[in-house]
Amino acid sequence: MNPLSDVLLHAARSRPAAPFLDTPAGTTWTYADLDAASGRLAHALQQRGVRGGDRVAVQTERSADAIALHLACVRAGAVYLPLNPAYVASELDELLADAAPALFVGPPAGTAHEVPSAMAQIGLAGLVAEAAAHPGVFADVPRTDDDPAAMLYTSGTTGRPKGAVLSHRNLAFSAQTLTAAWGFTADDVLLHTLPLFHTHGLFVAVHCTLVAGSSLILLDGFDPGGVCAQLPRATMFMGVPTYYVRLLADPAFSAEVAAGVRLFTSGSAPMLVSTHEQFRARTGQTILERYGMTETCMLTSNPLDGPRRPGTVGPPLPGVGVRIAGDDVGAVEVRGPNVFDGYWRRPELRESEFTADGWFVTGDLGRFDEHGYLEIVGRSKDLVISGGLNVYPKEVEQVLDALPGVLESAVVGVPHADLGEAVVAAVVAQEGVQLDPGAVRAAARERLAGFKVPKQVHVVAALPRNAMGKVEKARLRAQLEPPPR
């Protein structure tokens, strides 16, 4: 038994002739093609000495072969470690040294990176060429539910990156739960533009497609024009808030283009209520927003059938426990078959990252509304304590985002001699609008208690974001902190 392989390749083995993937460039795979390609690659991994439990680090561009390599690692009993193609040499060195993989597949074409001579390295094209000599039939290496299947490094925006180790149970449960929650069927076609090195693009988008026996249209990445051209062929689209903002800015994106899509989802970063409203006005459809983490896969989701409430991420998914450590707003803590067991080579974090009764402390602050929907109000590290009073950044950001001329905002705390921390905001103006920081503060003062009003408002061209579009508040805080005297 190989729990994750059994789940992900069930459709491939029951409907081998069904379409799995195509690209605008003309690549077309059936499920039989995927099964055979992953089998050949699994043989190639074993020939290179990869054994059960070994890490295989992969830094490559998105492609059908990249998906097949992920499945090959699962089938060979290895631990799949995807790495962002944008990592520079110093970042890659740190992660490879920590992970100690048996094989490094990469770097992407057109880049060069030397790895230690003791570490085996090959490009994806080279590995595919080696795999061509092997048969497509492969006997999957037996694994247990608790065996590791993948490892992903957290963003590291608040310190040293940590490798979250995800088990076969974690990934299989999450894929099956989401497939049911979002009504995936073999008739669905997902337009895929998300990174394949991230939970969202790989463990949500690809895994749900595989479980349901659906098909993918795989684009090279997100581009509004490319999405508008291919969307009429799709029934589902997954994105991050930035994608939807850019689609709405494109006149080609219309209700007619989106008419055949039964479900739009968003995650990886909070979506502005105004974006929800603009999307509904443009298309007549409501985006389904959900919540998850690298360490837990998906935790909550607005319902497929039922009210989707902008500003919330919905109730907990079936089988997932979510609680708030507090009477109203508090730390979000979770448990369930989707929640990882710990970080790679960081046993000391078990005590600080999990409660005494075994719940994972997400680091997010949230509350449940009267309907049982979870609202994330910020990160615990981003909580601003000004003059001894708690200020939740999201509350301030919602007020600022609603002001005329403001496209979006981010609120952080910076050191203050008197208050300990001062509330400071960065705002981005809508196109063609000139914002006056004093006027923004005055308008906020009409809607917020005095201690919540930003002491400073900085008008910026853009907010710093990571690869998934999430605002990097550590970087923003460093930019907005006053220079030392």
Residue 472 φ then ψ, to 5° = -90, 95
Asked whether the CA dihedral 97, 103, 108, 113 is positive or negative, the reply is positive
Is the pLDDT at 117 greater than 70, yes or no? no
How many helices (H) and strands (E) would you count in the chain? 17, 23
Q: Which of 161, 189, 217 is the last residue of a domain?
A: 189
Query: Per the domain annotation, does 155 fall within a domain?
Result: yes
Give the CATH number for residue 129: 3.40.50.12780
pLDDT band at 156 (very low <50, low <70, confident <90, very high): very low
Q: Which of 141, 166, 189 is the last residue of a domain?
A: 189
Give the range of the structural domain holding residue 403, as residue numbers without chain letter: 383-480
CA dist 288 → 90, 222, 224, 300, 313 (Å): 38, 19, 20, 11, 8
The single-letter code of the amino acid at 27 is T
Is the pLDDT at 112 greater than 70, yes or no? no
Q: Which of 189, 213, 230 is the last residue of a domain?
A: 189
| Tens-digit pLDDT profile for residues 90-100 | 778 889 999 99
Query: Per the domain annotation, does 284 fall within a domain?
Result: no
Give the CATH number for residue 439: 3.30.300.30
- C-beta neighbour count of 115 within 10 angstroms: 18
Query: Per the domain annotation, does 230 fall within a domain?
Result: no
Q: Which residues contact 281 (CB under 8 A, 6 or more apart)?
A: none
| Tens-digit pLDDT profile for residues 418-440 | 777 889 999 999 989 999 999 99
Is the pLDDT at 484 greater than 60, yes or no? no
Query: Per the domain annotation, does 165 fall within a domain?
Result: yes
The single-letter code of the amino acid at 111 is T
The single-letter code of the amino acid at 396 is V
Is the pLDDT at 296 greater than 80, yes or no? yes
Q: Count up the domains in the chain and report the number.
A: 2
| C-alpha closest to that of 198 among 66, 83, 357, 108 | 83
pLDDT of residue 435: 94
Is the pLDDT at 23 greater than 90, yes or no? yes
Is the pLDDT at 362 greater than 80, yes or no? yes
367, 376 contact by CB (below 8 A)? no
Distance of CA 36 to the CA centre of its chain: 28
Query: Per the domain annotation, does 466 fall within a domain?
Result: yes
- The span from the CA of 371 to the CA of 2, in Å, is 39
48, 81 contact by CB (below 8 A)? no
Structure tokens at 409: 């905002």
- The DSSP call for residue 296 is T
